[in-house]
Structure 1
């Protein structure tokens, strides 16, 4: 019977490994195909001949994106945006989450603010009122229009609050007995213990700020102030339009090497690379931060 259990256990483990490998390939192969398309010639892409290897190797799509001063300008704007958004998110989320871990006796307005956060998370004013507010504040065409509307992610506040609640109360009580005030407890005990959760919400902030292109379309009206995702989204190759506008032969020669699929694939690759460089440093905290911050025992 022991041998049978051992065999069943081995089979179960093998099946689990096979499912994990298949799931990984299901995520990896489409991305690999996109890389191959971005490096393939227009004719092969249009004829759907590109699989996992490039056909008619060319880097014309990347040249179209990278040989552009505006690309690097937009890239710099996005880097600044990510840094500002991350700083603001942490600077607002941490002091908002910590008081909500207190009891009603310690913080009488706790329930009011908690209900306010829940209501704001479920309901919002909508895109048009938000745009009017940003316009009235004079933030249009500035980087603050991309940062301030999302400065307080309520989901992150709740996640961090629940993580704080999972930290043993005895640590805080011991610090208070030793004479530590609320700010000392927060900076010396709660924040160091909450590193996994802070890394998780930092990853959420970085990915969200980097990938967001719609805010740039709404709040930025000058192309030289576009963030990278908005600028990449705005890039398109339309041969018919160039012909109508009487484009020169050199421009047409460059454009005919591309197809919309080539360029779109290159956009995806360029957009993913910075995130792939950051994710390995923070992914080890991701599961711990989400699990421990999602449920309070």
Structure 2
């Protein structure tokens, strides 16, 4: 038997549909605008005629960035950074969160470590001490300077910690009684049933590494080692048009700083747009299960 919705319920649903549709349109507008700008002519871009539909359709901006070896090199550096950074960060997060999720009778100093991690969310040593440490340990001007300083994020550790503490206590207790050690329990029991939370933490880490640009400017003195976002920041400041053939009048008339920058920004966000849908099914579950402490 179907239960009829009340008039107030229908009004609420209609309002939700309208409101969420407006929010989606507002959220998608910058992305669509950048894509349209990248496919527009120089004259239309400079005149401010481009909104969500390309004006004077041309692909010269994409041809230009595809001819730039620096773009692909920085793209590859960002990919390596994301892969290494995500693996290292998620691994350290799992180990840290699992240790602090143990009851006090198993890990007597647990609460002190929890407080230590919590303090780092409020206080930090500052940028200059961190720069000195990075130079002192010998990772300055290497990709490790972009990965190791942010390898352990306290927010992610707390998220995983609360998720692990919400798992049935009997799972780990029975494994201990059967003779398993903590590394076996973590690898064979805890991690396999923690996919939603792991996907959430992994997504946070991937997006953070992919979008980060400031650390590349500080910790890398060689511009050829810049990750993509740092490279794009320099492109936004100044576009080098030297690679364009001066005899190609069509390219010169259709390529400008605005269109080239828009094309590179759009290409840069494609990987995240491809990865997010694959992890979306875990995202809400991971945030919900890892945000409530029992």
TM-score w.r.t. length of structure 2: 0.91
How many residue pairs get matched?
Answer: 292
Partner of 1:74: 74
| Alignment check: 8 A CA contact 1:41 1:57 kept | yes
String of CA shifts for 1:268-297, please: whole Å, max 9, x gaps: 211210101111111111111111111113
Instruction: Report deviation, 1:57.
Output: 1.2
Partner of 2:87: 87
| Alignment check: 8 A CA contact 2:44 2:50 kept | yes
- Change in CA separation of 1:118 and 1:255 when aligned onto 2, cut-off 3 Å: farther
Does residue 257 (structure 1) correspond to residue 254 (structure 2)? The answer is yes
String of CA shifts for 1:93-136, please: whole Å, max 9, x gaps: 11111111122222111111111111112111111111111112
Partner of 1:120: 120
Q: Give secondary structure in 2 for the equivalent of 1:78.
A: helix
Partner of 1:223: 223
Partner of 2:269: 272
Q: Give secondary structure in 1 for the equivalent of 2:163.
A: helix
Partner of 2:24: 24
Instruction: Report deviation, 1:66.
Output: 2.1
Which structure 2 residues correspond to residues 80-229 of structure 1 after superposition, within 5 A? 80-229=80-229
How far apart, in 1, do the equivalents of 2:163 and 2:228 lie?
A: 33
How far apart, in 2, do the equivalents of 1:257 and 1:238 lie?
A: 17
| Alignment check: 8 A CA contact 1:167 1:193 kept | no
Partner of 1:288: 285
| Alignment check: 8 A CA contact 2:94 2:157 kept | yes
| Alignment check: 8 A CA contact 1:45 1:262 kept | yes
Partner of 1:234: 234
- Change in CA separation of 1:116 and 1:169 when aligned onto 2, cut-off 3 Å: same
- Change in CA separation of 1:237 and 1:211 when aligned onto 2, cut-off 3 Å: closer
String of CA shifts for 1:110-163, please: whole Å, max 9, x gaps: 111111111112111111111111112221221111111111111111000000
TM-score w.r.t. length of structure 1: 0.90
Instruction: Report deviation, 1:85.
Output: 0.4
Instruction: Report deviation, 1:59.
Output: 2.1
CA RMSD of aligned residues (A): 2.5
Partner of 1:52: 52
Q: Give secondary structure in 2 for the equivalent of 1:193.
A: coil
Partner of 1:10: 10
How far apart, in 2, do the equivalents of 1:196 and 1:123 lie?
A: 30
How far apart, in 2, do the equivalents of 1:54 and 1:31 lie?
A: 13
| Alignment check: 8 A CA contact 1:92 1:151 kept | yes
| Alignment check: 8 A CA contact 1:81 1:147 kept | yes
